[in-house]
Amino acid sequence: MSQDPERRPSYAGGIDAVLTRMEARRDPIVAAEGEGLPPLDIALGALTAAEVDDPDLDPAEAPPFRSPYHRKRHALRKELTGESELVCLHALLIAHLRKRAFPDHAPALFRRLWAEEGAHLIARLDPRWKVSAITTFGDHGATPVQRSVGLALSVLFGTMKLYESERLYSGAPPDQPFALDNRTRGRLPMQMNAWSLTDGGLDVNMLGRLWAEAEGDALIRPLAHDLLDSLLHDDRTVFRRLMTMRQRHLKRIDPDPERSRAVVPVPQPARPIPAERLRWGVVSTIRAPLPAIARFAAHHLELGADSLHIYLDTPDPEAEAWLSRHPALRITRCDDAYWQTAGKARMEAHQQRQAFNATRCLHDRSHGLDWLAHIDVDEFLLTERPLRAMLAGVSPHAAAARILPAEALATETGFPSHYKLAHHHAGQKKSVVQDIYPTFGLHLYGGFLSHTAGKVFARTGLDDTRLGIHTVKYRGGDASNRDRLHGVHVGHHHAPSWEHFRRHLAFRRTRGSYRTISRRKEMGQAQILTFLLENEGDAGLRALFDEVCADTPALRDRLAAHGMLLTHPLDPDSAVRRIFGDLP
């Protein structure tokens, strides 16, 4: 092969230098007179019960060192003080067997430890020593399987150590996957193709083959399987990170991985319902003062809702009487008698009560609705087009019509007029979130404090469906045959003012949207709020609110630059006067 003058080895001197450095570390451990490993037939049971004492307190073990063997034995006993003498002997055997020469009986004694006391070693060794043991099997196994499995796992863990050490310089902790949007297009070495997030099989082929190969030898199987099992359950490895990235990637390209099992059967009508005959309504379980309920109801009645089904989570006779005057409002008092009639104990979580009431309403044929939206009292449907016409245009095969969310920007006076969109709903990369919210964007998905899932209209009259908080459920899965209502958003007045945000914080942290419900280790919404509360108090919370929630010209400009600003002025108090008259 001709030499390419542009080729330059990573190690000066090439493979000769690598071999020289390797051999320099393999000088035998020389022992003084009377020192050395115990004989091959040593009684191992006694060693499992004996404990290693601090060598500095034992005159026979303490310095000055008589030989390299004494120095090594002292170092190992210092490291393993409190462990069993068998564990210490195991370590001393590994130290010898890594060298160019060693006592003749050392390989057999090492294998005997694993044959007779393998369970003790697996229970007592930490992962680092187990890797050292499997490496020793690669060099000194008695069978081809012991040597092949040991060598393969040694290369695997050695490569992982190099890669994971280099990754520490990326600035990301070992348990944090890389962002999907940051992938570069550089070439891999050795003309390798990049592993595919969608259907790459290198990982499972490698791990599965190692597991299966170890099945062929009773001595190495327990150790090899223990190491592979630890690897599969460690959340700081390239395997866990890649699996997390794969799940995120698959969710991005197909938000409903259960698509084939959650298709709701939708009977096809002889002819579509014309817009002028289509009927739609809203269901909501509410615990709020009368003015808030009146604004919510008046807004949606003016949008053309044929009926509003309001479940008063806390009985309020005055609000019930006042609202019931309007013929399109159906008010249900959720008192003890209601739950007794429903045949179900009142659920502790308000989210469960919301879903239960919404599902009961969905299957109530008496209201004569074709579509039912499940939204909260602080959410307002925003559209410039007639909803009746848009719902008439939904695919006849769809069981649900999704509504994208828009989170209101907070004002200290008046009603919000501006809303922000999540990056993915505006077709933007995730990286723009940190550009818009430089301090806190990294910790808030889409820059939202509230949900980014949106809400849905559910088609009525479909069997086995349930209406959840954000989706229609069918036999345990999310309905996948759903459409999207373009030109409609659900405007969420989640934190319309600083006072509102601060007043609701405690409830939301314990029972609402700020609960810690994700298994992610990286700091997210719940964790950043806890951190700010504990370390900076209200000043830290206010800094978060001002950057993420407050309606400022600077924030509106940054949102508009990325197509993530929605302007939709509302005047619900005027709507209340037009629909209901003056509040009591």
Decide: 280 and 369 in contact? Cβ < 8 Å. yes
Beta strand spans in 255-297 (E): 280-286
Residues 6+ apart with CB under 8 A from 222: 118, 119, 122
- Local structure of 388: helix, strand or coil: helix
Residue 143 is assigned to a structural domain of this protein: no
pLDDT score at 549: 94
Q: Please determine, for residue 2, whether its predicted confidence score (pLDDT) is greater than 70.
A: no
pLDDT score at 517: 54
The CA-based diameter of the chain, rounded to the nearest angstrom, is: 106
- Beta pairing, strands 400-408 & 477-478: unpaired
Round to whole Å and give the CA distance between 504 and 376: 15
Residue 227 is assigned to a structural domain of this protein: no
Residue 247 is assigned to a structural domain of this protein: no
Residue 449 is assigned to a structural domain of this protein: yes
**Residue 281 — φ and ψ, nearest 5°?**
-150, -175
Q: Which residues of 101-123 are buried (b: 16+ CB within 10 A; e: fewer)?
A: ebbeebbebbbbbbeebbebbbe
Instruction: Name the pLDDT band for 144 (thresholds 50, 70, 90).
Output: very high
The residue out of 93, 125, 157 marking a domain boundary is 125
Residues 6+ apart with CB under 8 A from 466: 355, 359, 362, 472, 473, 474
Of the listed ranges 126-135, 240-249, 381-390, 562-571, the one predicted with least confidence: 240-249
Q: Please determine, for residue 380, whether its predicted confidence score (pLDDT) is greater than 90.
A: yes
Q: The domain spanning residue 374 has which CATH number?
A: 3.90.550
Round to whole Å and give the CA distance between 150 and 152: 6
pLDDT score at 259: 42
Q: Please determine, for residue 337, whether its predicted confidence score (pLDDT) is greater than 70.
A: yes
Residue 240 is assigned to a structural domain of this protein: no
Confirm whether pTM is higher than 0.85: no
Residue 253 is assigned to a structural domain of this protein: no
The token duo for 453 is 């899932």
Count of structural domains, the chain:
2
Range of the domain at 287: 275-579
Provide the 10 A C-beta neighbour count for residue 40: 12
Round to whole Å and give the CA distance between 25 and 252: 50
Residues 6+ apart with CB under 8 A from 121: 86, 87, 90, 113, 114, 133, 223
pLDDT score at 179: 85
The residue out of 99, 125, 151 marking a domain boundary is 125
Beta bridge partners of 410: 550
The residue out of 95, 125, 155 marking a domain boundary is 125
Q: Please determine, for residue 417, whether its predicted confidence score (pLDDT) is greater than 90.
A: yes
pLDDT score at 276: 92
pLDDT score at 288: 94
Give me the mean pLDDT over the 146-164 stretch.
Answer: 95
pLDDT score at 504: 86
Of the listed ranges 102-111, 156-165, 198-207, 493-502, the one predicted with least confidence: 198-207
Residue % of the chain over a pLDDT of 90: 66
Residues 6+ apart with CB under 8 A from 427: 563
Residue 493 is assigned to a structural domain of this protein: yes
Instruction: Name the pLDDT band for 520 (thresholds 50, 70, 90).
Output: very low
Decide: 437 and 548 in contact? Cβ < 8 Å. yes
The 10s digit of each residue's pLDDT in 172-185 is 889 888 888 777 77
Decide: 286 and 319 in contact? Cβ < 8 Å. no
Residue 176 is assigned to a structural domain of this protein: no
